[in-house]
Structure 1
């Protein structure tokens, strides 16, 4: 089973979600074999057809230019290949649909927060008159460029930003994401750690919007389950020495440690296990759930667990994305990148415009957030329906998305994974 959650698509519900870590009152509907609890009854709040914009019937002749700022370098570089492959696959299939919309993608690097690569990349992309920019993967990086992008009237769409701070951010209704807020991942992670029998928890946390937001949600969930966080150690991007943080965690002797980092896990995990902490009591997150077969000694983290947003990868999508990049070893956020690209194209088609502001007006609608459209999973069917003036509700490989008025997905799946002796992970829930 997987952990499935829905949040009501209303401003009041979103505000409650934002306050979840503090108030302990959830507007999410959860069902989880991972937590061992009895799932509450599931309810639906239908999309509001009255908010839907009209869709012009007829053929289109549109050329859509999209840029990406995905990590080709920096502490999240391992996410770059699957994300760029997801975008490339979507662009290929959109063009192959031959429905009157041709998409061109310009790929640029986001770097990480220790560099100014993202700003340089965004400046370059805006000079080329892109309608939308996909990325960054890092929430911290996106915060450095979101104002620059949205001020230009361009859609900013991330496949992997999970910081809760984006929900209420003043973005002129131009920011969107296919990844759920870390209020959800933190709740799932905290509950999973408690369900595994830990009563005390240590946190090693990247000091940026992603790390601190996820840590806060994890802590709130774990404590609500009766546990106690006995150590919470922060570090900054670019730090190379973690001795003080690891010593403090070891001194607290927690039952479990959640490693909320990016690529720094390659340094801190061997150091922590080498100091005597059991590798099977570690918990990873989406920022570092990776293949460590070439980095760690065999068996170093056997039994360690981690969380990652997204449903189980479908075989058909795996084959299609591998045809784009046969060297992919990790598929994290590839489906979300694919769906971000598809939604931008469908919104442009629905608007019959490649202006960023026009695309943004239709993004929620084609995702099923408004309009009560028919569910579609095939690109050809989606374009055909739009050309006939019909409303659609796109469901892609990342699952149902259903964007709300903040640009957040209101339906999401969080997978539970476990590491084997070879330091690779597989889905267990």
Structure 2
């Protein structure tokens, strides 16, 4: 990864309070499992809200005579985020990344009037139906032309199929990694597909084991990643069975895994579910008999906080990672730590980039409508344009007569470069649990 030596972002840009251009919270944030981001960690699968009014969403008040939404005073987009439920530990990370992105954007302003940019947020409750309800409210009532969402792959796909498909609305998922999203090229995302991660995880396990037992959460995320893993693992997959979300016990699954001759157990699941599994396996001494492996969704502060020391020491896995040597990420990290007294994760950076791409597309579009945004949203991330690392740099190119294809936004999470399937490149890191904390090692690209 080439460090950025030209970024114009300042900590003042990132730390400016969001003011009128902040996140409009709809519903409740009760039930979040963490109060801080912690170290680099994972996300994956996760309501309709009240009567907040859009402050400029949809086609209302637009003027098709010029770029940047044509000089509106305000622009609102939507976000479906996991504020409650299994993915709540990751929803708060999204909010923080979003807040920093809005601060940087609104320091400059969008369009010829330097209008305010804001996000109307709905809670997916980490499940498909609530996510669909929230997205439908944002699209039909708030009339947003662009929707960021969701955390969970199943929620993102359900939103696309039920609300977005067949419309001009642009959807960008901030956190969904299932390979299934690749089959829906109009469903964009800032986090990479799990295909490369699944193959890398299979290779990592095969270095030490020739027989594995796999359990995966029964949704699009678990299905997609488990299929890639099983298809890539060179040894014997002795057990490959799904488990349901939000169960109070998984002792039956664990007993079945223990009944195999597998020397490695692979957990493709979420923080709440994995926490229960770790505790129940520890009670039965299974952790002393096999090695644990996982992906990004088995990394969360809440897991460490709610499991016994030593219960998963030695666990190894692969998670999405940020390019920590890139100057723009270091600027983001510094601002994040100052603002929230916590270290960011790559998932916060993905949310930051999704909001920034939305603002740059708004600046580049002929009008603030879904159809106009569709025409430019991929172009502003493509490598053919001039590399920019901030909204301000992108706006300057566009103000000087440049078009969307003249801009190549390089995100704080790494190159975005949305391809024909709506996927960015992957950037991963190996992690291990030692002394009941996460440690990070080698990087992998995919």
In the superposition, the TM-score normalised over structure 2's length comes to: 0.76
- Residue 137 of structure 1, CA deviation: 0.6
1:319 aligns with 2:319: no
2:276 to 243, 267, 276: 267
- Residue 218 of structure 1, CA deviation: 1.2
Greater mean alpha carbon deviation, residues 152-161 or residues 206-215? 152-161
Q: Which residue of 1 aligns with 2:263?
A: 255
- Residue 123 of structure 1, CA deviation: 2.6
Q: Which residue of 1 aligns with 2:221?
A: 210
Q: Is the 8 A contact 1:139 1:161 kept in 2?
A: yes
CA distance in 2, matches of 1:59, 1:290: 39
* Deviation by residue 1:372-414 (Cα, 9 ceiling, x = unmatched): 11111132211101222330111111101111122111x2201
Q: Is the 8 A contact 1:289 1:307 kept in 2?
A: no
CA distance in 2, matches of 1:93, 1:193: 41
The alignment covers a number of residue pairs equal to 364
* Deviation by residue 1:172-198 (Cα, 9 ceiling, x = unmatched): x3x210111111110111111122x11
Alignment of structure 1 residues 332-347 onto 2, 5 Å: 332-347=346-361
- Residue 428 of structure 1, CA deviation: 4.5
Q: Which residue of 1 aligns with 2:399?
A: 387
Counterpart secondary structure, 1:239: coil
- Residue 296 of structure 1, CA deviation: 1.2
CA distance in 2, matches of 1:125, 1:377: 29
Q: Which residue of 2 aligns with 1:222?
A: 233
Q: Which residue of 2 aligns with 1:66?
A: 77
Alignment of structure 1 residues 137-286 onto 2, 5 Å: 137-147=151-161, 148-169=163-184, 173=186, 175-195=187-207, 197-223=208-234, 227-262=235-270, 263-278=272-287, 281-286=291-296
Q: Closer, same or farther in 2 for the Cα pair 1:144/1:378, shift >3 Å?
A: closer
- Residue 283 of structure 1, CA deviation: 1.2
1:348 aligns with 2:348: no
Counterpart secondary structure, 1:393: strand
Counterpart secondary structure, 2:233: helix
Runs of 4+ in 1 over 6 A off after TM superposition: 56-59
Q: Which residue of 2 aligns with 1:27?
A: none
CA distance in 1, matches of 2:130, 2:120: 15
Q: Is the 8 A contact 1:300 1:421 kept in 2?
A: no
- Residue 424 of structure 1, CA deviation: 3.5
- Residue 104 of structure 1, CA deviation: 1.1
Counterpart secondary structure, 1:386: helix
CA distance in 2, matches of 1:387, 1:150: 32
- Residue 250 of structure 1, CA deviation: 0.6
Counterpart secondary structure, 2:296: coil
Alignment of structure 1 residues 3-18 onto 2, 5 Å: none
In the superposition, the TM-score normalised over structure 1's length comes to: 0.79
1:84 aligns with 2:102: no
1:105 aligns with 2:119: yes
CA distance in 1, matches of 2:392, 2:381: 16
Counterpart secondary structure, 2:410: strand
Gaps of at least 5 residues in structure 2 are: 2-65
Counterpart secondary structure, 1:64: strand
CA distance in 2, matches of 1:176, 1:120: 20
- Residue 249 of structure 1, CA deviation: 0.7
Counterpart secondary structure, 1:252: coil
What CA RMSD, in Å, does the superposition of the two structures yield over aligned residues? 2.4
Counterpart secondary structure, 2:345: coil
CA distance in 1, matches of 2:68, 2:417: 26
Q: Closer, same or farther in 2 for the Cα pair 1:271/1:66, shift >3 Å?
A: same
CA distance in 2, matches of 1:203, 1:136: 26
CA distance in 1, matches of 2:153, 2:68: 39
Q: Which residue of 1 aligns with 2:382?
A: 368
CA distance in 2, matches of 1:293, 1:318: 22
CA distance in 2, matches of 1:207, 1:347: 35
Q: Which residue of 2 aligns with 1:42?
A: none
Q: Is the 8 A contact 1:70 1:137 kept in 2?
A: yes
Alignment of structure 1 residues 16-55 onto 2, 5 Å: none
Q: Is the 8 A contact 1:306 1:416 kept in 2?
A: yes
CA distance in 2, matches of 1:166, 1:102: 31
- Residue 282 of structure 1, CA deviation: 0.8
Counterpart secondary structure, 1:278: helix
